[in-house]
């Protein structure tokens, strides 16, 4: 852990472009390297799994940022969305004595013990993407998205689109207990309060295309063409639902309006094709920011506890304009 960091201050330059809400990292240059006099920085990254297009883009961004060329020795673990397996992976990083641990926590709860163990071992923990309910004294920093704001933005679109028209909605929730599922539900509910939108049903589709399809098939069997609106907590579940809606002889985007979150390539294509009506972005390209945080924390540079990356949102027309220039 007593490594002299050569590439400190990487975070500030990257953050200046996309992050709002916080400042306070020190550092001098835009050097993105993380190497030290003693060799590469060893980092254990505990990823959630590989549930979605968003997750693939996030994993790629992390692996690129924590590359050997950038001065890192990365141990990658994807826990297949099993919270116990993810905690076991973090424990194994602690036993290995890595220099730093990065976690994309599958669920918010249950982190106190293992985070305390990392602290006791003197290993700093950086969270990326999702948050935890543990005290923020147990981790050095977090970088990610404002999931509640994403839910509010999706809900505001629904409120503006349906206004006072009685509207039956079904919801495909993300992984139960995860920060994005909790916060996107809360934000959306706040935004549609006082409208004539009624929730017929709301179930988890685990952020996957397969489960989105299966759960939507169940909704269609139960409520048929009474469904006016689908709110999907991510694009992959919306895409699975689109298959189910088409198989039921209905037209997605027309018979059933769809609003989802992520803005990954396939989702944006479905938006351009008129099968989804509105998408709120969730930017997965967090690798450079997370690597900058690791470098700065190990260098002893002051960092804030939370860095929010800004999201956009897209109508069908806006999606058509930007789809070719999207990075994920
Ligand atoms: O935590 C971010 C969410 O996780 C994304 O919206 C979803 O697609 C992913 O799997």
- For the CA of 55, the closest atom of ligand 1 is 10
CA distance 141 to 85: 23
Report whether residue 311 contacts ligand 1, using a CB cutoff of 6 Å.
no
Per-residue pLDDT tens digits for 49-65: 999 999 999 999 999 99
The DSSP code sequence of 205-239 is -TT-HHHHHHHHHHHHHHHGGG--EEEESSHHHHH
Phi, psi for residue 125 in degrees, rounded to 5: -115, 130
Distance 316 CA to ligand 1 centre (A): 21
Q: What is the pTM of this model?
A: 0.91
CA distance 179 to 245: 28
Which pair of structure tokens corresponds to residue 70?
A: 């950038």
Q: Give the pLDDT of residue 163.
A: 85
Q: Give the pLDDT of residue 74.
A: 98
Q: Cα 213 from chain centroid?
A: 21
Distance 303 CA to ligand 1 centre (A): 25
Which secondary structure element, helix H or strand E, spans residue 317, and what is its range? helix 316-322
Distance 3 CA to ligand 1 centre (A): 34
Distance 48 CA to ligand 1 centre (A): 9
Q: Give the pLDDT of residue 37.
A: 64
Identify which of 177, 180, 183, 263 to mutate to test ligand 1's pocket (most ligand atoms within 8 A of the CB).
180
Report whether residue 129 contacts ligand 1, using a CB cutoff of 6 Å.
yes
Report whether residue 147 contacts ligand 1, using a CB cutoff of 6 Å.
no
Give me the domains of the chain, ranges plus CATH numbers. 5-145+284-310 (3.40.50.2300), 147-281 (3.40.50.2300)
Closest CA to 129 of 147, 151, 149, 111: 147
Distance 41 CA to ligand 1 centre (A): 27
- Compute the average pLDDT of residues 276-298: 98
- For the CA of 262, the closest atom of ligand 1 is 6
Residue 287: Cβ within 10 Å count: 25
Closest CA to 54 of 290, 261, 319, 216: 261
The DSSP code sequence of 261-312 is EE--HHHHHHHHTTSS-EEEE-----HHHHHHHHHHHHTT----SEEEEP--
- Compute the average pLDDT of residues 36-55: 93
- Output Rg (C-alpha) for the chain, integer angstroms: 21
Q: What percent of the chain has pLDDT over 90?
A: 88
Q: Give the pLDDT of residue 5.
A: 29
Distance 6 CA to ligand 1 centre (A): 33
Report whether residue 239 contacts ligand 1, using a CB cutoff of 6 Å.
no
CA distance 203 to 300: 44
Grade residue 38 by pLDDT with cuts at 50, 70 and 90. Answer: confident
What's the DSSP call for residue 323? G
Q: Cα 289 from chain centroid?
A: 14
Report whether residue 130 contacts ligand 1, using a CB cutoff of 6 Å.
yes
């Amino acid at each position: 852990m007593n490594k002299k960091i050569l590439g400190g201050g990487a975070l500030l330059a990257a953050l200046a472009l996309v992050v709002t809400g916080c400042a306070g990292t020190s550092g001098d240059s835009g050097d993105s390297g993380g190497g030290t006099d003693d060799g590469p920085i060893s980092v254990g990254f505990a990823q959630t799994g590989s549930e979605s297009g968003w997750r693939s883009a996030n994993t790629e961004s992390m692996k690129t940022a924590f590359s050997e060329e950038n001065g890192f020795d990365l141990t990658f673990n994807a826990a297949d969305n099993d919270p116990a397996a993810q905690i076991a992976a973090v424990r194994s990083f602690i036993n290995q004595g890595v220099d730093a641990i990065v976690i994309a926590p599958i669920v918010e709860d249950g982190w106190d013990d293992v985070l305390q163990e990392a602290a006791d071992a003197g290993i700093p923990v950086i969270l990326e993407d999702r948050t935890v309910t543990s005290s923020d004294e147990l981790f050095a920093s977090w970088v990610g998205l404002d999931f509640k704001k994403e839910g509010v933005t999706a809900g505001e679109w629904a409120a503006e689109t349906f206004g006072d028209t009685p509207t039956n909605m079904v919801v495909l929730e993300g992984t139960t207990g995860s920060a994005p599922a909790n916060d996107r539900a809360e934000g959306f509910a706040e935004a549609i309060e006082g409208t004539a939108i009624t929730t017929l049903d709301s179930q988890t589709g685990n952020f996957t295309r397969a489960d989105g399809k299966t759960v939507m098939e169940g909704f269609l069997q139960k409520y048929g063409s009474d469904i006016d609106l689908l709110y999907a907590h991510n694009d992959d579940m919306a895409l699975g639902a689109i298959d189910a809606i088409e198989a039921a002889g209905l037209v997605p985007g027309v018979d059933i309006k769809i609003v989802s979150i992520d803005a990954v390539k396939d989702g944006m294509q479905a938006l351009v094709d008129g099968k989804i009506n509105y998408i709120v972005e969730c930017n997965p390209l967090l690798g450079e920011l997370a690597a900058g945080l690791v470098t700065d924390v190990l260098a002893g540079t002051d960092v804030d506890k939370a860095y929010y990356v800004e999201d956009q949102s897209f109508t069908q027309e806006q999606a058509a304009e930007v789809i070719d220039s999207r990075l994920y």
